[in-house]
């Protein structure tokens, strides 16, 4: 168990990975929202924009938690990938959501092991959102 207000270096590092990832996909999904073309644009653009905003809110919540745990939030995103076609975009989005789901399950495990129930609870909620995003993207991909 860690001292109140101080997370382990391992947990703080994982939270920074999560922040970089959340910043990445918020930019990625917003640019995809802008750049989608064709008949599906009107069906997908608003949802991509909404998901991008949700991801930025996740980054904010994680950064606040990391700061409380004695860490400094990163400001650089993981590499952003927009893609050249809708299929390419959505395939990448599915992969990014799968990576997030794996990372957040690891964070929940580490936080629980360290007795940090608040971080674990935060990531259980974020995990629900990421699973919904994954479901959205995989459903779209099935139709392409």
Q: List pLDDT tens digits, range 26-52.
A: 999 999 999 887 777 778 989 999 999
Q: Is 2 inside a domain boundary? A: no
pLDDT of 7: 82
Domain with residue 73: its CATH number is 1.20.1260.10
Q: How many domains does the chain have?
A: 1
The pTM is what? 0.92
Are the beta carbons of 45 and 33 closer than 8 angstroms?
yes
Report yes or no on 56 lying in a domain.
yes
Which domain, by its residues, includes 30?
9-142
Residue 62 belongs to some domain of the structure = yes
The mean of the pLDDT values for the chain is: 93
Give a yes or no: residue 109 inside a domain: yes
Residue 91, phi then psi, degrees to nearest 5: -60, -45
């Amino acid at each position: 168990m860690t001292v109140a207000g101080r997370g382990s270096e391992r947990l703080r590092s994982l939270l920074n990975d999560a922040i970089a990832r959340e910043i990445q996909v918020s930019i990625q999904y917003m640019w995809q929202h802008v750049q989608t073309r064709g008949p599906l644009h009107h069906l997908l653009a608003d949802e991509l924009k909404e998901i991008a905003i949700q991801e930025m809110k996740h980054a904010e919540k994680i950064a606040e938690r990391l700061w409380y745990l004695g860490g400094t939030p990163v400001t650089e995103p993981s590499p952003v990938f927009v893609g050249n076609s809708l299929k390419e975009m959505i395939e990448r989005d599915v992969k990014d959501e799968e990576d997030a789901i794996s990372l957040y399950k690891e964070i929940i495990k580490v936080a629980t092991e360290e007795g940090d129930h608040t971080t674990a609870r935060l990531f259980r909620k974020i995990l629900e959102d990421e699973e919904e995003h994954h479901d959205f993207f995989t459903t779209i991909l099935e139709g392409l």
